[in-house]
């Protein structure tokens, strides 16, 4: 259909049909469907408005999966729909659909936009082959508090990196060609706008209270960057921002999202968030809740039906909103047309099995998993396993389990996962591998002939994700006892950890000689981790989120503001009296089996102006037998400013492929724009003066801004 035909279709719609297009529900009302094919990620909703013909005005369905089921729902809907406008199907494939990639926090530790774009491309192909058109991803909420369960969905604590990686995933999902989503792409939904990751106390759905300076400089920056890739959707967040629920905030959704960030496509609420305005006590009833959301700029109401219930009263009282409604409905129709649904609303069921978990997707998932792992500690080179170690015992809750997908695993199945034990046996058939949940389960004769123990520890996948905030981040007591019991065997050992968030390890870290942090690696988990443990590859990931020493140290992050009494050995400084200064493992930390060597540090000049940028160059040498990706990170420190600045800020980074025993010359750029910041009056400014450069905390040099 051309745009004129879409306009004519819009004009033929009743007001009820228009509001139907702006309503999203779950799919079981259209067909008797097995619950396994319907993924619901929120509380139940009132359905009294979905009787008779109202059900056949709806614009989109959330959570339905498989081409067969989606075709069934679409067919049943179109049979009774007056205008035969096809349904859009939407889903939460956060880190894969059927082929599961590492959790986003793990993916971010690659620092490599191409890895995340590839993960998104493969996910989009699987989604589209299954009949799904829109994916509720990526989440670019900046996160500093690892108590929040949804840190697993984030890209960590730095705004630049979070925005860049979100942008890469949007590009991968939508696969834009000539301005259109391709037949194997899906519409991306950037979420959760805004500042959802800053809830007080790390509690999900909680209040956010921050200055606009902090928002625009940090928490808003990832959205601003990612929006450059033009996602078709933005999801409004559950939280309040400075006293107003975002779902009802014209400041956030119109002044900032629409005007400042220039987003001009569809805004969808989160699950039930419009109705929850009543729980926030900013709306006394459903009509007022719907009116507030609609006035704020929420185009589509997800999984509640207040728009449909109260549209007549709202438009009668606020007729000016009809213009916004028509604009939103037209965007919905245009998206359906762009996706080709008016020509063919059905998925090709024969194609689904060809695409799902194909060899290319699995290979990409394994590479992403391998590169997402971070070697946090490696005393006495306890990893990789030495060639003489042939009898290996895996012990711990993750020794033999296949539950390595992490939360938000969409349609991923544990049956498809390669366990750690399986991965080790596949990686080296000369190894004898036995797996036990506890050391007591291991027969004495096996322990007597054991050469090496791997303690597979961590946090169960169900303890992170939405609604899973935790006050205690320490490794559970029984796992700490396990590590000490392994130590007492006097056998060589290391630890492999699976989790959805940074954990607080101060109490046990001295008993761990070597620690490989694997997050939740996905379908090819065991194969990827085994390649690292056996030395077929070296870990190369670096942390994107700092690890607290103790739970009470959270939030802890690298780019904290300077204080009048910087942390030092004195009690009269900004520190905890019963905890060492700084995180246990900081942002940017990550080891390899040998370690890159940086040399030949040079800066193109000592002054920077509007017309003259600086080039920071250096050489990275790889003294090992491994080809791997080194992550070079450039930070700046503003030595003197009129407004207090962070102690350090990342301004550039580059992932460089360094061949074994080879070297690579790297050049990073600093512009005057990189040095600007918002002052106390929210004016973007830069001041003459000195700055210091850091590259991976190793090299430094001063330069000066002058006009």
Residue 242, domain member (yes or no): no
Facing residues of 266 across strands?
A: 233
Same domain, 409 and 524: yes
For 13-54, the pLDDT digits (tens) are 999 999 999 999 999 889 877 666 777 776 776 777 787 899
pLDDT band (50, 70, 90) for residue 699 = low
For 555-595, the pLDDT digits (tens) are 999 999 999 999 998 989 999 999 999 999 999 999 999 98
Same domain, 412 and 522: yes
Instruction: Give the SS3 label for residue 657.
Output: strand
Helix extents (H) in 499-540: 525-533
For 480-531, the pLDDT digits (tens) are 999 999 999 999 999 999 999 999 999 999 999 999 999 999 999 999 999 9
Question: For residue 36, what pLDDT is reported?
Answer: 66
Closest residue by Cα to residue 270 from 231, 232, 303: 303
User: E strands within 411-532?
Assistant: 432-436, 452-458, 493-498, 514-517
Is the bond preceding residue 380 a cis peptide, omega within 30 degrees?
A: no
Facing residues of 446 across strands?
A: none
For 66-80, the pLDDT digits (tens) are 999 999 999 999 999
Question: For residue 628, what pLDDT is reported?
Answer: 94
Contact 586, 374 (CB under 8 A): no
For 219-254, the pLDDT digits (tens) are 999 999 999 999 999 999 999 999 999 999 999 999
Same domain, 372 and 491: yes
C-alpha distances out from residue 600 to 655, 664, 694, 698, Å: 18, 11, 14, 12
Q: What share of the chain in percent tops pLDDT 70?
A: 98
Contact 553, 546 (CB under 8 A): no
Question: For residue 609, what pLDDT is reported?
Answer: 86
Domain boundary among 507, 533, 559: 533
Domain that holds residue 604: 597-705
User: E strands within 243-307?
Assistant: 244-245, 266-268, 301-302
Residue 558, domain member (yes or no): no
Question: For residue 707, what pLDDT is reported?
Answer: 47
- Taking residues 649-666, what's their average pLDDT? 97
- Taking residues 306-327, what's their average pLDDT? 97
Question: For residue 246, what pLDDT is reported?
Answer: 98
- Taking residues 325-353, what's their average pLDDT? 97
Calculate the average pLDDT of the chain: 95
Question: For residue 48, what pLDDT is reported?
Answer: 74
Domain total of the chain: 2
Same domain, 619 and 523: no
Residue 649, domain member (yes or no): yes
Residues in contact with 663: Cβ distance below 8 Å, sequence separation at least 6, in sequence order: 619, 620, 621, 622
Residue 671 has pLDDT above 70, yes or no: yes
Same domain, 369 and 480: yes
Same domain, 517 and 603: no
In terms of pTM, does the model score above 0.95? yes
Question: For residue 549, what pLDDT is reported?
Answer: 98
- Taking residues 257-282, what's their average pLDDT? 97
Question: In this structure, how many other beta carbons lie within 10 angstroms of the beta carbon of residue 579?
Answer: 14
For 361-406, the pLDDT digits (tens) are 999 999 999 999 999 999 999 999 999 999 999 999 999 999 999 9
Contact 626, 677 (CB under 8 A): no
What element of type H or E holds 655? strand 649-658
Same domain, 380 and 490: yes
Same domain, 402 and 503: yes
Facing residues of 374 across strands?
A: 517
Question: For residue 34, what pLDDT is reported?
Answer: 67
For 278-302, the pLDDT digits (tens) are 999 999 999 999 999 999 999 999 9
Rg from Cα positions in the chain: 26
Question: For residue 703, what pLDDT is reported?
Answer: 74
Question: For residue 244, what pLDDT is reported?
Answer: 98
Contact 195, 217 (CB under 8 A): no
CATH code of the domain covering residue 683: 2.60.40.10
Domain boundary among 483, 507, 533: 533
Same domain, 377 and 500: yes
Phi-psi region of 100 (alpha: psi -120 to 50; beta: other; left: phi over 0): beta
Residue 687, domain member (yes or no): yes
Same domain, 416 and 500: yes
Strand order in 493-498's β-sheet? 374-378, 514-517, 493-498, 452-458, 391-395, 432-436
Residue 89, domain member (yes or no): no
Helix extents (H) in 93-249: 104-108, 113-129, 159-174, 212-214, 221-226
Distance CA 635, CA 651 (A): 6
Residue 646, domain member (yes or no): yes
């Amino acid at each position: 259909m051309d745009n004129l035909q879409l306009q004519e279709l819009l004009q033929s719609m009743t007001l009820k049909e228009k509001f139907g297009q702006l309503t999203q529900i779950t799919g079981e009302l259209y067909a008797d469907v097995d619950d396994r094919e319907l993924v619901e990620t929120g509380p139940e909703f009132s359905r009294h408005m979905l009787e008779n013909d109202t059900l056949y005005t709806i614009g989109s369905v959330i959570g339905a999966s498989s081409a067969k089921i989606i075709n069934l729902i679409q067919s049943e809907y179109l049979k009774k729909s007056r205008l035969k406008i096809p349904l859009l199907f939407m889903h939460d494939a956060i880190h894969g659909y059927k082929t599961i990639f590492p959790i986003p926090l793990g993916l971010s530790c690659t620092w490599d936009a191409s890895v995340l774009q590839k993960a998104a491309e493969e996910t989009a192909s699987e989604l589209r082959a299954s009949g799904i058109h829109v994916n509720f991803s990526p989440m670019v909420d900046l996160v500093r508090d690892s108590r929040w369960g949804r840190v697993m969905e984030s890209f960590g604590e730095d705004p630049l990196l979070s925005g860049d990686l979100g942008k890469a995933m949007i590009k991968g999902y939508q696969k834009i060609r000539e301005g259109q989503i391709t037949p194997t792409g899906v519409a991306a939904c950037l979420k959760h706008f805004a500042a959802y990751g800053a809830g007080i106390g790390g509690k999900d759905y909680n209040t956010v209270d921050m200055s606009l300076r902090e928002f625009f400089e940090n928490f808003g920056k990832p959205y601003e960057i990612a929006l450059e890739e033009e996602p078709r959707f933005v999801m409004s967040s559950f939280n309040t921002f400075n006293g107003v629920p975002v779902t009802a905030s014209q400041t956030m959704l119109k002044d900032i999202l629409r005007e400042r960030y220039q987003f001009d496509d569809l805004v969808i609420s989160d699950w039930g968030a419009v109705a929850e305005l009543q729980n926030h006590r900013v709306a006394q009833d459903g009509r007022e809740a719907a009116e507030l959301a609609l006035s704020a700029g929420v185009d589509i109401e997800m999984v509640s039906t207040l728009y449909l219930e109260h549209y007549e009263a709202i438009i009668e009282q606020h007729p000016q909103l009809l213009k916004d409604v028509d604009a939103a409905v037209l965007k919905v129709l245009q998206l359906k047309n762009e996706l080709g649904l008016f020509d063919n609303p059905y998925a090709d069921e024969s194609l689904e099995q060809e695409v799902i978990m194909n060899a290319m997707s699995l290979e990409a998932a394994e590479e992403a998993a391998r590169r997402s792992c971070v070697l946090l500690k490696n005393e006495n080179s306890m990893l990789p396993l030495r060639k003489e170690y042939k009898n290996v015992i895996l012990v711990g809750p993750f020794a033999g389990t296949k539950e390595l997908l992490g939360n938000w695993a969409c349609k991923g199945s544990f049956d498809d996962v390669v366990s750690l034990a399986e991965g080790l046996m596949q990686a080296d058939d000369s190894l004898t591998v036995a797996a036990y949940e506890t050391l007591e389960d291991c027969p004495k004769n096996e322990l007597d002939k054991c050469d090496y123990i791997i303690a597979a520890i961590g946090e169960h996948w169900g303890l992170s994700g939405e609604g899973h905030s935790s006050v205690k981040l320490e490794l559970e007591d029984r796992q700490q006892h396990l590590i000490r019991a392994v130590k007492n065997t006097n056998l060589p050992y290391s630890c492999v950890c699976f989790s959805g968030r940074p954990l607080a390890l101060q109490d046990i870290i001295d008993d761990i000689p070597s620690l490989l942090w694997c997050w939740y690696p996905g379908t090819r988990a065991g194969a990827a981790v085994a390649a690292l443990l056996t030395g077929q590859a070296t870990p190369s990931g670096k942390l994107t989120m700092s690890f607290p020493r103790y739970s009470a140290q959270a939030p802890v992050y690298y780019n904290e503001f300077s204080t009048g009494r910087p942390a030092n050995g004195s009690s009269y400084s900004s520190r905890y009296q019963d905890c060492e200064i700084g995180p246990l493992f900081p942002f940017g930390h990550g080891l390899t089996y040998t370690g890159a060597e940086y040399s030949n540090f040079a800066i193109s000049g000592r002054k920077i102006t509007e017309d003259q940028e600086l080039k920071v160059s250096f050489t990275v040498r790889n003294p090992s037998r491994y080809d791997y990706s080194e992550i070079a990170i450039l930070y700046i420190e503003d030595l003197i400013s009129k407004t207090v600045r962070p102690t350090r800020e990342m301004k550039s980074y580059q992932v460089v492929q360094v061949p074994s025993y080879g070297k690579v010359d790297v050049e990073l750029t600093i512009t005057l724009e990189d040095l600007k910041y918002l002052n106390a009056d929210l004016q973007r400014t830069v001041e003459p003066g000195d700055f210091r450069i850091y590259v991976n905390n190793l090299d430094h040099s001063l330069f000066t801004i002058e006009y």
